[in-house]
Amino acid sequence: MFPACRYYLQARRCIRTLKAVQVGHVAPQVYSTQRSSSTVPRITTHYTVYPRDKDPRWEEIEMERFADEADVVIVGGGPAGLSAAIRLKQLANQHEKELRVCVVEKASQIGAHTLSGACLEPTALNELIPDWKERGAPLNTPVTEDKFSILTEKYRIPVPILPGLPMNNHGNYLVRLGHFVRWLGEQAEELGVELYPGYAAAEVLFHEDGSVKGIATNDVGIGKDGSPKDVFERGMELHAKVTLFGEGCHGHLAKQLYKQFNLRENCEPQTYAIGLKELWVIDEKKWRPGRAEHSVGWPLNRNTYGGSFLYHLNEGEPLVALGFVVGLDYTNPYLSPFREFQRWKHHPSIMSTLEGGNRIAYGARALNEGGFQSIPKLTFPGGMLIGCSPGFMNVPKIKGTHTAMKSGMLAAETAFSKITDENLQSETAGLYIPEYKEALEKSWIWKELYAVRNIRPSFHNYFGLYGGMMYTGIFYWFLRGKEPWTLKHNGLDSAQLKPAKDCAPIEYPKPDGKISFDLLSSVALSGTNHEHDQPPHLTLKDDSVPVAHNLAVYDGPEQRFCPAGVYEYVPLETGDGMRLQINAQNCVHCKTCDIKDPSQNINWVVPEGSGGPAYNGL
């Protein structure tokens, strides 16, 4: 709970109770609004689509919010946000300055929404916390063996990993990133950073001059029909001189900022992938701690970008982390990333490792794959974008943690200089810090991303995967990204699907319950949970579009690209058609639906704080 607000909320509850006695509540069934045809079943009830100022059920509800002040507010307690917070407090202590830094994180615990492979390159960590080994950082598995392969349906073709190629992992560590992020949180708290897990940043606040003022956390106690419950509580405002947005891939506040400040005006559209991951305990005889295996090819065709990883972890028991990545620019609406993942595990080279083992965890998330060409403008009055929110992932390396951390550190250093400048005369109430972009361009992040900028878009050719590999082998190996051209991506991932009538359905084998599994049993292992009685946070701009467009043209691709079974088409109760059912409780916060929806009708917003997956070291 933010300081001083506990008593404020208790007082407000008493006032609301008195008002309820005086005026009562308007019955929910009195309110009914349709955005489209009256024959379309109502799906969306969220206030971002149906404003509360037009809803009579909210007329007597107190909407005042408690406000608190900080020097810097950071949205997102991931590698970027926590690295920024740590660096800010390091600088404040070094210069003997008082600096209040607050981090808000939607997960119930720091690290609970974190998912990655993860093969960690320690460059940024060495800079941020040089004595991380003495401090007990959970980097327990240095990479001792690298393997890269092209898979056919039955065979594995080894590919040599030459020094200097992106897939060379010498000096890196295989980690459970959620545990590493939790450790970063502990380091931040030791320095005096205020961490607020369980608080979802739901709204960007602005000064009258248009600069960012801070954020507001989400309201709680709203019924599934959009009405206020007796336990309704307004969110709280956090104001700051500078707000850093490190929400992760495709952050919902960052989307608003892109539009508000036209941040994507001079860059290419971002392109994405979905990554699915499982954690297994395997037979100890098959365990090779420190081995990192990567593959491309089967079961994907040559024109579908993707690949896999299998990491042998040294965590005190024979654990392996395995995952499958599919580029979201795929074209066949019948493709299911989840079922491709399950099918991949039956390849002889993978199944031999898993047989006799036990799957203990599952999760999924979206990844930024646009790289250098898709980096937006990063600074605006009152704020900056850091980490995977703008997208600093090195795609051929399949690594983004080190670049995310470094971006947070650079944002912290430039923000600290401005905040503590006693002679600063700012033109806006929220500080504008263009020096952040300048610092990035001088850093190893810029050099690294520029060098690999053409590798991902080089896959857009007739030969697909194989053409891209040839390009990488020739131009990256010899020129290290110094070729005098920059390739372009194909555009928005949502625009890539072909109509169902032009594509062949994909027949997937049934899961055997030993190596491959069904979707719902997998989601159960994610630990995901949401308050049932709240408006679905998967909102639709128009409730009629899913059936009229997505189902009619693309055979309902959302029921296949979602890795958690959130979307399904079911018969109408009248029996004369179909309707979209949204199982919001299943959501693992991957944002794939918001990215890949061909009608761009889905808008992912934050649910009540603490909702979502409960990953334990994914």
Task: Verify that 552 and 430 share a domain, yes or no.
Answer: no
Q: Examine residue 260 and state whether it is found in any structural domain, yes or no.
A: yes
* pLDDT at 523 (0 to 100): 98
Q: Examine residue 327 and state whether it is found in any structural domain, yes or no.
A: no
249: which 2 tokens? 């891939």
Task: Verify that 448 and 593 share a domain, yes or no.
Answer: no
Alpha helices per DSSP H over 226-361: 252-261, 337-344, 348-354
Task: Verify that 118 and 208 share a domain, yes or no.
Answer: yes
Show which of 452, 481, 497 is a domain's final residue. 452
- pTM as predicted: 0.93
At CA 192, angle to CA 188 and CA 197, rounded to 5? 60
Task: Verify that 111 and 188 share a domain, yes or no.
Answer: yes
Q: Examine residue 363 and state whether it is found in any structural domain, yes or no.
A: no
39: which 2 tokens? 């024959």
Q: Examine residue 245 and state whether it is found in any structural domain, yes or no.
A: yes
Show which of 422, 452, 482 is a domain's final residue. 452
Task: Verify that 401 and 550 share a domain, yes or no.
Answer: no
Task: Verify that 226 and 83 share a domain, yes or no.
Answer: yes
CATH number at residue 402: 3.50.50.60
Q: Examine residue 492 and state whether it is found in any structural domain, yes or no.
A: no
* pLDDT at 5 (0 to 100): 53
Task: Verify that 434 and 562 share a domain, yes or no.
Answer: no
Q: Examine residue 565 and state whether it is found in any structural domain, yes or no.
A: yes
Our measurement of the distance from residue 84's CA atom to the centroid of its chain's CA atoms, rounded to an integer in Å, reads 18
Burial of 229 per CB tally in 10 Å (0-12, 13-18, 19+): middle
Task: Verify that 99 and 227 share a domain, yes or no.
Answer: yes
Task: Verify that 406 and 537 share a domain, yes or no.
Answer: no
Burial of 361 per CB tally in 10 Å (0-12, 13-18, 19+): buried
Task: Verify that 523 and 398 share a domain, yes or no.
Answer: no
Q: Which amino acid is at 371?
A: G
101: which 2 tokens? 């830094």
Distance CA 582, CA 42 (A): 11
| pLDDT block averages, 10 residues each, the chain of length 618 | 51 43 33 46 92 94 96 98 98 97 98 96 98 98 96 95 83 97 98 97 97 97 96 97 98 97 97 98 98 97 95 96 98 98 98 98 97 98 97 93 98 97 92 97 96 92 83 78 92 97 97 97 97 96 97 98 98 91 97 98 95 95
CATH number at residue 590: 3.30.70.20
Show which of 452, 484, 503 is a domain's final residue. 452
Walk across the sheet containing 306-314 and list its strands: 156-158, 145-151, 291-297, 306-314, 318-327, 272-281, 358-368
> What percentage of the chain's residues is helix, strand, coil (to nearest 5)?
30, 20, 50
Cα distances (Å, whole numbers) of residue 81 to 74, 87, 189, 339, 397: 6, 10, 13, 33, 22
Number of domains in the chain: 2
Task: Verify that 118 and 199 share a domain, yes or no.
Answer: yes
At CA 471, angle to CA 466 and CA 476, rounded to 5? 135
Domain of residue 396: give its range: 66-139+175-269+370-452
- Using an 8 Å Cβ cutoff, are 124 and 405 in contact? yes
Q: Examine residue 462 and state whether it is found in any structural domain, yes or no.
A: no
* pLDDT at 467 (0 to 100): 84
Q: Examine residue 351 and state whether it is found in any structural domain, yes or no.
A: no
* Residues designated catalytic: 116, 365, 401, 562, 587, 590, 593
Task: Verify that 91 and 192 share a domain, yes or no.
Answer: yes
